[in-house]
Amino acid sequence: MANVFEIEKYLNELLEVEKFNDFCFNGIQIEGKSEVKKVAIGVSFNLEFIEKAIEENADMMFVHHGIFGKNFFKLRGYLKKRVEWVIKNDMTLMGYHLPLDSHIEYGNNGQIAKRLNLKNIIPFDYGVIGEYEKEIPFSEFKEKMEEVFQRKDLFIYKNKEYVRKIAIISGGASYIIDALENTEVDTFITGEVKEHIRDIAKEIGINYINAGHYTTETFGVKAIGEILEKKFGLETIFIDVYNEI
């Protein structure tokens, strides 16, 4: 058993939440029972995730996409139904958004870079930049990505035959592609794509990979789940409510 407020304090310090002006509250978003034994880990707070967490007899849910918005109180429609289920079952909802993208070791992007065996990893926006010691063929890198992300339907704009220096920002980060022009970065991995990105990627000569918003953001919550097991002795279970987007 562990106290949810002790968990929150530890994670707030670890993920340095005070550094972020996020558009949601990071930490305990819905308070349930104070002592927890089992935690359901997942990407997004939705009804299917809640129902599966209840089936697993979880005391707490830990997610990346919790309740967005802050400094307000309005419970209507689908959000009211979600919150109602949580409160009825005396569960805690804990969510961390930008801090869980950005942490260079436990965040989504740091974890992806680690799994791709990148070196010299440095922060970049809410993500990271890392590199290989030498250029590798794009075909070889594609195989690495398929293994890491466990999907072959990666959305790719290939504009170079090689890969060496890579920027990674999970989720909806196509906006940052402009900042990669005239840099040494030759490949950008993120989780979404917009209509104009194809042409920008081609014109600045960069490989662009959309690996999926959901898929790129499974890594941070899993890393935190391991911390909760080791640091607090909690039982955790990752609930995969897959989203192809």
Q: What average pLDDT score do residues 203-221 get? A: 98
Q: How many Å apart are CA 125 and CA 121, to the nearest integer?
A: 13
Q: Which amino acid is at 114?
A: K
Distance between start and end Cα atoms, the chain? 36
pLDDT at residue 147 is higher than 90: yes
The pLDDT assigned to 10 comes to 98
Question: What is residue 59's three-state secondary structure?
Answer: coil
The pLDDT assigned to 73 comes to 76
Tell me which of 71-80, 152-161, 191-200, 220-229 is least confident: 71-80
Q: Which residues pair with 188 in a beta bridge?
A: 167, 208
How is domain 103-213 classified at the CATH fold level?
A: 3.40.1390
Structure-token pair, residue 140 = 């070889």
The pLDDT assigned to 22 comes to 96
The pLDDT assigned to 43 comes to 98
* Strand-pair category, 127-137 with 119-124: antiparallel
pLDDT at residue 116 is higher than 80: yes
The pLDDT assigned to 71 comes to 76
Question: What is residue 129's three-state secondary structure?
Answer: strand
User: Does 213 carry a binding-site annotation?
Assistant: yes
The tens digit of pLDDT for each residue in 82-112 reads 999 999 999 999 999 999 999 999 999 999 9
pLDDT at residue 17 is higher than 90: yes
Question: What is residue 9's three-state secondary structure?
Answer: helix
Q: How many Å apart are CA 146 and CA 31, to the nearest integer?
A: 38
CA distances in angstroms from 147 to 112, 150, 215, 218, listed in the order given: 11, 5, 12, 14
CATH number of 2-101: 3.40.1390.30
pLDDT at residue 70 is higher than 90: no
DSSP 72-122: -----HHHHHHHHHHHHTT-EEEE--HHHHH-TTTSHHHHHHHHTT-EEEE
- Domain layout of the chain by residue ranges: 2-101, 103-213
pLDDT at residue 72 is higher than 90: no
The pLDDT assigned to 26 comes to 97
Burial annotation 138-163 (CB, 10 A radius, 16+ → b, else e): beebbeebeebbeeeeeebbbbeebb
The model's pTM is 0.95
Q: What average pLDDT score do residues 21-27 get? A: 95
**% of the chain residues with pLDDT over 90:** 97
**% of the chain residues with pLDDT over 70:** 100
Q: What average pLDDT score do residues 226-243 get? A: 98
User: Does 65 carry a binding-site annotation?
Assistant: yes
User: Does 64 carry a binding-site annotation?
Assistant: yes
